[in-house]
């Protein structure tokens, strides 16, 4: 059976590995470890001043900060199960938030409050304005930078608004993780840890993900459009993120009534995000139903496959069947087949939306090659060159008409990329 780099194909890249991703992740991890080291020093100093074991305070705060992460990350990933994002890119977004974004925010927030707000407005008003104005601008900018980086380097990964929300949710959850350790440390030493954990970890853990999701929506719009207005979308999203963040921070001055009203607004926004995710799921299923039937005559897709691909339960049952039929390799091949077929449908949808590039055929053929190899694997076939039947749809529509799949696979193996590093076709 031909060996293909399935992860590279599904990511629409020359290789699954990227120097930008590796370097960005390394820098983010170093920054995160540096922040944890800084928080350890604060814990030891605070413990010494209060006559309490600082190490215990740090460990307790760390564990308390991990709890919301273990809840938020699975919930965020559940939004996009039909076409999940690459794990390493999601990890990069998380550690950027937990490292680079937090470190930049700590430095800029401290500087803005100490040298701008307090000198201009006095200590009390300056602190309030710093919390409600400076912090939202700084923090949403620091978190949003990684989304702009993904738009620049990984635009093909963003196929729906939900993708933008998922990446935004991951960077925001990473940010909240490190920030929560700082808040929980202070609460540990003043005896209010339970109350602080209840507010930040139980009552309102979705705060940062909801704020940054606005920027994610703007970035997703820019990734899915070709008009000039798409450049304004990330800015509009960032403005909404800052406003929501500032509203929450400023609500504390109005007591529980202010917090309740702000919480209600965030809850409504959260329901809107869930509605967007549901709509995107329906849109993806509609793309599968519309764009895959022309490939039935190639032998790579059957009507039963289209039905299977249209539901999560059908996909799960198919993977279980493949595991019984061809073992672990069969399960992995079925997963590759499902993702490649989904990406193929989304590729055609982007083309219809006008996001079309000169080398889109290379991306299309790479998905088809992976589907061919994966199908032979989970069916348990003996490796052999195969030339399936041909779709009758004209080539202008983007569907394959008279291609030799053995040649497609050989060409894909020779390139080992399917698409160039720059000027990639839509996924």
Residue 417 has pLDDT above 50, yes or no: no
285 versus 7: which is more confidently predicted?
285
pTM, two decimals, is 0.87
Three-class SS of 320-355: HHHHHHHHHHHHHHHHHHHHHHHHHHHHHHHHHCCC
> Residues 329, 375: contact at Cβ < 8 Å?
no
pLDDT score for 298: 85
Rounded distance between C-alpha atoms, residue 365 and residue 371, angstroms: 10
pLDDT score for 12: 66
379 versus 104: which is more confidently predicted?
104
Nearest to 219 by CA among 127, 140, 294, 293: 140
Segment 301-324 shows an average pLDDT of: 94
- Cβ-in-10-Å burial (0-12, 13-18, 19+) of 401 comes to middle
Q: Per mean pLDDT, which range of 75-79, 297-301, 387-391 is the poorest? A: 387-391
Summarize pLDDT for 280-302 with one digit per residue, the tens.
999 999 999 999 999 998 889 99
pLDDT score for 202: 85
DSSP 226: -
| Mean pLDDT score of the chain | 86
Q: What does the buried/exposed string (b/e) look like for 235-272 if buried means 16 or more CB atoms within 10 Å of the residue's CB? A: eebbebbbebbbbbbbbeeeeeeebeebbeebeebeee
User: Under 8 Å CB-to-CB from 142, ≥6 apart: which residues?
Assistant: 100, 101, 102, 104, 105, 108, 175
pLDDT score for 269: 97
pLDDT score for 3: 61
Residue 20 has pLDDT above 70, yes or no: yes
Q: Per mean pLDDT, which range of 55-69, 237-251, 356-370, 408-422 is the poorest? A: 408-422
pLDDT score for 356: 62
Cα 349 to its chain centre, rounded Å, is: 20
Q: Per mean pLDDT, which range of 88-97, 104-113, 127-136, 201-210 is the poorest? A: 201-210
pLDDT score for 250: 94
> Percentage of the chain with pLDDT > 90?
63
Residue 382 has pLDDT above 50, yes or no: no
User: Under 8 Å CB-to-CB from 329, ≥6 apart: which residues?
Assistant: 377, 378
Enumerate the H helices of 292-311 as residue ranges.
303-309
User: Under 8 Å CB-to-CB from 87, ≥6 apart: which residues?
Assistant: none
Q: How confident is the model at residue 6 (pLDDT cuts 50, 70, 90)?
A: confident
């Amino acid at each position: 059976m031909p060996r293909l780099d399935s992860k590279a194909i599904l990511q629409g890249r020359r290789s699954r590995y990227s120097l930008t991703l590796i370097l960005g992740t390394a820098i983010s991890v170093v920054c995160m470890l540096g922040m944890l080291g800084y928080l350890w020093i604060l814990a030891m100093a605070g413990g010494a001043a209060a006559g309490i074991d600082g190490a215990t305070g740090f460990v307790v705060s760390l564990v308390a900060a991990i709890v919301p992460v273990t809840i938020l990350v699975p919930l965020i990933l559940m939004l996009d199960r039909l076409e999940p994002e690459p794990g390493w890119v999601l990890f990069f977004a998380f550690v950027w938030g937990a490292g680079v974004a937090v470190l930049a925010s700590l430095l800029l927030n401290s500087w803005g409050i100490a040298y701008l707000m307090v000198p201009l407005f006095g200590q009390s008003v300056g602190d309030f304005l710093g919390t409600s104005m400076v912090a939202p601008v700084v923090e949403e900018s620091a978190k949003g930078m990684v989304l702009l980086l993904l738009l620049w380097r990984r635009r093909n990964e963003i196929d729906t608004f939900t993708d933008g929300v998922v990446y935004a949710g991951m960077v925001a959850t990473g940010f909240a993780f490190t920030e929560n350790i700082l808040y929980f440390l202070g609460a540990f030493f003043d005896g209010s840890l339970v109350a602080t954990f209840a507010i930040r970890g139980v009552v309102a853990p979705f705060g940062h993900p909801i704020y940054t999701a606005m920027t994610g929506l703007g970035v997703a719009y820019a990734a899915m459009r070709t008009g000039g207005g798409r450049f304004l979308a990330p800015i509009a999203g960032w403005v909404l993120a800052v406003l929501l963040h500032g509203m929450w921070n400023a609500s504390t001055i109005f007591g529980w009534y202010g917090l309740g009203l702000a919480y209600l607004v965030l809850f409504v926004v959260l329901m809107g995000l869930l509605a967007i995710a549901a709509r995107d799921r329906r849109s993806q299923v509609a793309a599968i139903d519309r764009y895959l039937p022309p490939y039935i005559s190639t032998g790579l897709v059957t009507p039963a496959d289209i039905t299977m691909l249209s539901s999560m339960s059908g996909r799960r049952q198919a993977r279980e069947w493949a595991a019984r039929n061809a073992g672990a390799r069969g399960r992995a091949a079925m997963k590759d087949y499902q993702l490649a077929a989904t990406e193929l449908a989304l590729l055609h949808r982007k083309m219809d939306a006008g996001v079309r590039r000169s080398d889109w055929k290379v991306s299309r053929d790479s998905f088809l090659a992976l589907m061919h190899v994966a199908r032979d694997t989970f069916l348990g076939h003996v490796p052999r060159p195969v030339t399936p039947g041909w779709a009758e749809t004209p080539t202008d529509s983007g569907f394959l008409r008279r291609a030799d799949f053995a040649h497609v696979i050989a060409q894909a193996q020779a390139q080992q990329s399917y698409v160039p590093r720059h000027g990639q076709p839509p996924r």
